């Protein structure tokens, strides 16, 4: 409405007024905004968690599974709750909380078609099936297809995700998973993990390990203190190096745009790499003692 009042162009005033009266001040638009807020808010919460630096693949899989379950529940119950919230907002904004009646387009019937059995959808039913269910189903399908690779990783490395899972497996199943991991991580007849040795190590590890929190990082830290679990150590290092998202790479490109601007177009590759690392690892850099580095540099460069 501000654009309609302030604009001096007739076509702009007309388009702004038509947009407000025919679209923005309608109950359908308000209900759509409520639905989109619920969908995007749920995705945003999980997305921010996945972009954290200490996110591991086991936690990422749990959060994505929870998000998919949320959308399945939202598909069954979300429309009625969104209708209630949209009606409350509509009353506060002075908007009629009802759908516009649209003209029903009828087509010519064939002689063999039974017109009496035909059921016409109400505007609410049309909005629910054509808009709400379409959005929720597309979101669910996109999540499942985009993170399908995580399911494959879970089948391969899932038995390593926690000590509780290790203890729940009998010897036969644990041995099969260790051998399968060896075959999967085999390239050109070179192996990083021996399946049978890994099986023997995990049998002992799950009985003697004691960690405060049953996470991949804590398990690896515990194994690191011993020299008796070389294959388990390699297996857990592989799991922890699997990238959950590309957020780290995107941060690097964002830093690169800030560092190499048009004033630094002639910067050498070595200097660019150094500045990029310093900018990306800013938190770690702030903890360093610069006085010690300055003394070492001065002692090396001092003329005799």
Q: Hey, where are the domains in the chain?
A: 2-100+121-146, 159-240, 249-301
Looking at the chain, the whole-number percentage of residues with pLDDT higher than 90 is 12
For the ranges 1-5, 146-150, 158-162, 272-276, the maximum mean pLDDT occurs at: 158-162
Give me the pLDDT at residue 136, please: 92
Is pLDDT above 70 for 294? yes
Is pLDDT above 90 for 74? yes
Is pLDDT above 80 for 111? no
In whole angstroms, give the CA distance from residue 64 to residue 153: 14
Looking at the chain, the whole-number percentage of residues with pLDDT higher than 70 is 81
Q: How does residue 35 score in pLDDT terms, banded at 50, 70 and 90?
A: very high
In whole angstroms, give the CA distance from residue 204 to residue 116: 73
Tell me the pLDDT tens digit for each residue of 260-286: 777 777 778 888 888 888 887 777 888
Neighbours of 14 (CB within 10 A): 12
- Per-residue pLDDT averaged across 183-206, rounded? 85
Give me the pLDDT at residue 9, please: 65
In whole angstroms, give the CA distance from residue 21 to residue 15: 10
What angle is formed at CA 209 by the lines to CA 205 and CA 211, rounded to 5 degrees? 145
Core vs surface per residue 23-59: b (16+ CB within 10 A) or e: eebbbbebbbebbeebbeebbeebeeebeeeebbbbb
Give me the pLDDT at residue 137, please: 92
Is pLDDT above 80 for 16? no
In whole angstroms, give the CA distance from residue 182 to residue 196: 9
Give me the pLDDT at residue 98, please: 80
In whole angstroms, give the CA distance from residue 239 to residue 198: 14
Give me the pLDDT at residue 107, please: 61
Is pLDDT above 80 for 106? no
Neighbours of 149 (CB within 10 A): 9
């Amino acid at each position: 409405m501000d654009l309609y009042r302030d604009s001096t162009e007739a076509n702009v005033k007309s388009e702004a007024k038509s947009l407000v009266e025919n679209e923005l001040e309608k109950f359908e638009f308000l209900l759509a905004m409520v639905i989109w807020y619920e969908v995007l808010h749920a995705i945003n919460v999980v997305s921010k968690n996945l972009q954290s630096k200490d996110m591991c693949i086991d936690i990422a899989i749990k959060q994505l599974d929870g998000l998919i379950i949320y959308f399945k529940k939202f598909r069954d119950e979300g429309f009625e709750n969104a209708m209630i919230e949209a009606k409350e907002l509509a009353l506060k904004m002075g908007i009629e909380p009802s759908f516009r009646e649209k003209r029903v387009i009828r087509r010519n019937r064939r002689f063999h078609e039974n017109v009496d059995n035909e059921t016409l959808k109400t505007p609410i039913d049309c909005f629910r099936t054509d808009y709400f269910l379409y959005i929720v189903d597309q979101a669910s399908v996109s999540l499942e297809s985009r993170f399908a690779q995580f399911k494959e990783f879970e089948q391969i490395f899932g038995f390593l995700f926690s000590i509780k899972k290790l203890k729940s497996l009998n010897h036969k199943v644990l041995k099969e998973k260790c051998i399968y991991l060896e075959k999967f991580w085999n390239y050109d007849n070179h192996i990083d993990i021996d399946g049978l040795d890994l099986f023997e190590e995990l049998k002992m590890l799950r009985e003697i390990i004691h960690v405060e929190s049953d996470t991949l990082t804590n398990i690896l830290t515990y194994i690191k203190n011993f020299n008796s679990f070389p294959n388990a150590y390699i297996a857990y290092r592989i799991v922890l190096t699997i990238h959950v998202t590309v957020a780290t790479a995107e941060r690097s490109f964002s830093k690169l745009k800030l560092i190499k601007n048009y004033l630094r177009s002639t910067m050498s590759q070595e200097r660019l790499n150094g500045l990029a690392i310093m900018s990306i690892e800013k938190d770690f850099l702030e903890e360093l003692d610069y006085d010690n580095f300055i003394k070492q540099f001065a002692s090396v460069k001092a003329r005799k």
